[in-house]
Amino acid sequence: MRKMFLAIFAALAFGGAALAENYPSHPITIIVPFAAGGPSDAMARILAERMKVTLGEAVLIENVTGAGGSIGVGRAVRSPPDGYSISFGHLGTHVANGAVYKLGYDLVADLEPVVLLPSNPMIIVSKNDVPAKSLKELLGWLKARPSPPTAGTAGAGSGSHIAGLYFENVARIKLQYVPYRGTAPAMNDLVAGQIDIIVDQTSNSIAQVRAGTIRAYAVTDDKRVASAPEVPTVDEAGMPGFHMTLWSGLWVPKGTPKEIVARLNAATVEALSDPAVRKQLENLGLQMPPKDKQSPEALGAWQKAEIAKWWPMIKAADVKVD
Ligand code: MLT
């Protein structure tokens, strides 16, 4: 407690540099904007376990869900810029949501990029009682439905929703989206046969695919996923070019001292280069970001480039949110 007050006093008296000097002096929280047990939560927890070693303080996970992840990101944006609240997010929450919601915050102006995290291709999966053994058969079955087939998502603007919109476009089908607070609860309903498909993150589906409780048709990449070599690529399965990789990242509130951003970046980069951590992440089908893309500036530039790329498609889809 005394250490924390000293840190706050120093920060008030001497500004960011002093704040950074005593950082961290108490536990740090990563705000995950989706349900526990899902792909974002799983990655955040694996990294937090290793980051605490470097930072010397506990790194806690708080799941703040809803509205495609925009509620959790909003919580981080409104947190003090002192390095103790970190926003975990991805292509959905830190790119797509800006084209879907009136957010009340700016994804670029109100957040400081910290580090690009691993990515994974999406995977097209269905409930087991769909009478299709290949992607072509699945497309035939989806098109023959009297009413739009149901697709589970983590809410409008989430990765699984953007992937669904892209799938609709390329496959020329209509889907009925069923929103959940994350793809973990959506997966429970897919296994139970309550919904028809998910265009999911490989890291979320891989365990169920291996267990045979759901059916996989293709990964949205031009190369197979090392940890699921039996699943063909969309190019092999008859949807050439339907490529989508969902990347994640960490951000902090704008105004967080750059020394603290550098500490958090270093702790994450160290975690990502730890062989035990890499093994856990690669086993989930996750691909490590290239070394030269792991700086805060690289994430900032990549986020802006993805905004320019994805907003036109998302805005054209005219997504209705309450
Ligand atoms: C999750 O963790 O549930 C996902 O990241 C949600 C999504 O964006 O599809």
Binding site membership of 155 for ligand 1 (Cβ less than 6 Å):
no
Task: State the average pLDDT over residues 271-299.
Answer: 97
Binding site membership of 182 for ligand 1 (Cβ less than 6 Å):
yes
Binding site membership of 40 for ligand 1 (Cβ less than 6 Å):
yes
Q: How far is the CA of 212 from the centre of ligand 1 (A)?
A: 21
User: What pLDDT, in 10s, does the model give residues 26-56?
Assistant: 999 999 999 999 999 999 999 999 999 999 9
Nearest Cα to Cα of residue 322 among 36, 38, 66? 66
Q: How far is the CA of 19 from the centre of ligand 1 (A)?
A: 33
Mutate to test the pocket of ligand 1, among 31, 34, 90 (most ligand atoms within 8 A of CB): 34
- Torsion angle in degrees (nearest 10) through CA of 121, 122, 123, 125: 170
Q: Kindly give, in sequence order, each residue whose CB lies less than 8 Å from that of residue 133, ignoring residues fewer than 6 positions away.
A: none
Binding site membership of 154 for ligand 1 (Cβ less than 6 Å):
yes
CA distance 151 to 86: 30
CA distance 78 to 252: 10
Rounded to the nearest integer, the mean pLDDT of the chain is: 94
Residue 318 has pLDDT above 90, yes or no: no
**Residue 13 region, left (φ>0) first, then alpha (ψ -120 to 50), else beta?**
alpha
Q: How far is the CA of 142 from the centre of ligand 1 (A)?
A: 23
Q: How far is the CA of 28 from the centre of ligand 1 (A)?
A: 22
Binding site membership of 233 for ligand 1 (Cβ less than 6 Å):
no
Whether this prediction's pTM lies above 0.85 is answered by yes
Residue nearest to atom 2 of ligand 1 (CA): 40
Q: Kindly give, in sequence order, each residue whose CB lies less than 8 Å from that of residue 64, ignoring residues fewer than 6 positions away.
A: 31, 32, 33, 71, 72, 75
Binding site membership of 39 for ligand 1 (Cβ less than 6 Å):
yes
Q: Helix, strand or coil for residue 280?
A: helix
Quick one: pLDDT band at residue 8, thresholds 50, 70, 90? low
Peptide bond preceding 24 in cis form (omega within 30 of 0): yes
Residue 201 Cα: closest atom of ligand 1: 9
Nearest Cα to Cα of residue 88 among 203, 265, 251, 204? 251
Q: What is the pLDDT of residue 22?
A: 87
Residue nearest to atom 3 of ligand 1 (CA): 182
Residue nearest to atom 7 of ligand 1 (CA): 159
Q: Is the Cβ–Cβ distance between 236 and 225 less than 8 Å?
A: no
Binding site membership of 205 for ligand 1 (Cβ less than 6 Å):
no
Residue 12 has pLDDT above 90, yes or no: no
Place of tokens 């950074």: 20
User: What pLDDT, in 10s, does the model give residues 100-115?
Assistant: 999 999 999 999 999 9
